[in-house]
Amino acid sequence: MFSYNDLQVIDVVARRGSFSAAAEELHKVPSAISYTVRVIEERLAVDLFVRLHRQVQLTPAGEFFVEEARALLKQMELLKMQTQRVANGWSQSVSVALDTVVRESRVNTLVRDFYRQFPDMELHLTMEVFNGVWDALSDGRADIAIGATAAVPVSGHFDYRDMGVLEWRFVISPDHPLAQTDYPLEAEELIEYPAICLEDTSRVLPKRVTWLMDNQRRIMVPNWHSAMSCLKSGLGICVVPEHKALPLIESGELVEKQLAVKPPVSPCCLAWNKESQNPAIDWLLDYLGDSEQLHREWMR
């Protein structure tokens, strides 16, 4: 019903307050501006402007029309820009799912470097737990996953890069009853105390738990921050990623104890959907580096 130029004329006239000023800005003659406004008003069957001697003022209907017209102009500009991005192989955004086991301090650097490289794109980050990372990939909510388990629980067009193995440490509060023991702890002793477990964020794939004795009570928490708070308060026991546990062991906030049956290491990987690759994702895969760099920067 209205072209981009029609809406632009109305916007400029409303902003400048006269046909002559709008004509000067748009490099047209005032009569052309006046004619365009009159044709639009005839199509609408309403007056958008009150004509004064040398100026024009918006009517109430005109104020509404201008507000909506400006919103349409923004949408049309966005449509043009996004279409050009698609033509050049760019997406509007890149989604990255991070397993909560990775080093959070590395995330800020990733975000800063990405926006320096792609100032016109958005980076969407989500923190996932266990199979939630693969669930995000398979459901299309993420393009890349950092820290996913190397045992791929889904089929599809995925590729991955090894990130090494994640070591676990059994730690408890210095005030916990088990803190005074000096021997490897058996399951019979551990089962007396609640296990602090992170809630798997998977929506479709089966949920899993990293460490739990048979018939042991659980304290379910959403992230490692909450888990550490419960540990420090002596509310329960659990195994913690080595890079998260060591600083707290060194500071004395937590103490490490040996287990008779040590928790197995967890192979981790960088995974991505090959069907959703674009230049930004290619840049991220190159930026994140090889297996040694990934392990050093995200798992230590």
Question: How do the domains of the chain map onto residue ranges?
Answer: 4-87, 93-165+267-298, 168-264
Q: What average pLDDT does range 244-257 have in this prediction?
A: 94
**At a CB cut-off of 8 Å and minimum separation 6, what does 162 contact?**
150, 267, 269, 291, 294
Q: What is the pLDDT confidence band of residue 104, given thresholds at 50, 70 and 90?
A: confident
pLDDT in tens, 216-233: 999 999 889 999 999 999
| Structure confidence at residue 84 (pLDDT) | 75
Instruction: Report pLDDT digits (tens) over 9-59.
Output: 999 999 999 999 999 999 999 999 999 999 999 999 999 999 998 899 999
Write the DSSP string, 200-256: P--SSSPP--SS--TT--EEEESSHHHHHHHHHTTS-BEEEEHHHHHHHHHHTSSEE
Calpha distance 107→125 (Å, rounded) = 9
Average pLDDT over the chain, rounded to whole? 89
Distance between CA 100 and CA 196 in Å, rounded?
15
Contacts of 10 by beta carbon, 8 Å cutoff, 6+ apart: 37, 40, 48, 65, 66, 69
Greatest mean pLDDT among 73-82, 151-160, 204-213, 252-261 lies in 252-261
Place of tokens 């950092």: 146
Please state the rounded mean pLDDT for residues 74-101: 81
At residue 235, does pLDDT exceed 90? yes
- Is residue 267 predicted with pLDDT exceeding 80? yes
**Nearest residue to 156 via CA among 139, 168, 181, 138:** 138
| The pLDDT value given to residue 272 | 92
CA 128 distance to own-chain centroid: 10
pLDDT at 111: 94
pLDDT level of residue 152 (50, 70, 90 thresholds): low
Give the model's pLDDT for residue 276: 73
Assess whether pLDDT exceeds 90 at residue 274. no
Q: Which fold has domain 4-87?
A: Arc Repressor Mutant, subunit A (1.10.10)
β-strand partners of 74: none
- Classified by CATH at the fold level, domain 168-264 comes out as D-Maltodextrin-Binding Protein; domain 2 (3.40.190)
**Architecture category of domain 93-165+267-298 in CATH:** 3-Layer(aba) Sandwich (3.40)
| pLDDT bracket for residue 89 (50, 70, 90) | low
What's the whole-number mean pLDDT along residues 53-74?
92
Summarize the confidence of residues 134-157 as an average pLDDT. 81
What pLDDT was estimated at residue 148? 87
Residue 245 has pLDDT above 80, yes or no: yes
